[in-house]
Copies of this chain bind each other. A is one copy, B any other.
């Protein structure tokens, strides 16, 4: 029996390549790969991975959503952000090298009313508030992201 993460990696691959329309079906696919799990576990995996049922031409199938709502993504972002600073006009977030684009993308997708845009370099994200009056609200948003750890 492999680890959870390797099972989830496998799930991503299978969903990408095959037409899977029920969790039980995926149980079979995984079994063929020597991974034994029950439907209950897949239900949880799907939630964590952000898998959704989409209606295809023939019936419906499961697809990977590339959305940013998964719990793992949130943890990931928290890990990537090192710190932040701000002045009266904007907030600058420092990230691990090469991760700024990803962090900015996540922040964009939050659709926060306080943010009108982000710009990302290699390890720096610039966040522009909709008003300088909202800098503090904006900081609160960032702070929350950094301390993301509730399950």
Contact = CB atoms under 8 A, between A and B. Distances in A.
Contacts of A97: 66-68, 105
Nearest to A79: B72
Contacts of A149: 2-3, 5-6, 9
Given A105-B97, A149-B3, A76 B76 contact: yes
B123 A79 contact: no
Can you tell how many copies of this chain the complex includes?
2
A16 interface: yes
Contacts of A106: 98
A20 interface: no
Contact of A96 (B66, B79, B100, B123): B66
Contacts of A75: 5
A76 B73 contact: no
A12 interface: yes
Contacts of A96: 66, 73
A9 B105 contact: no
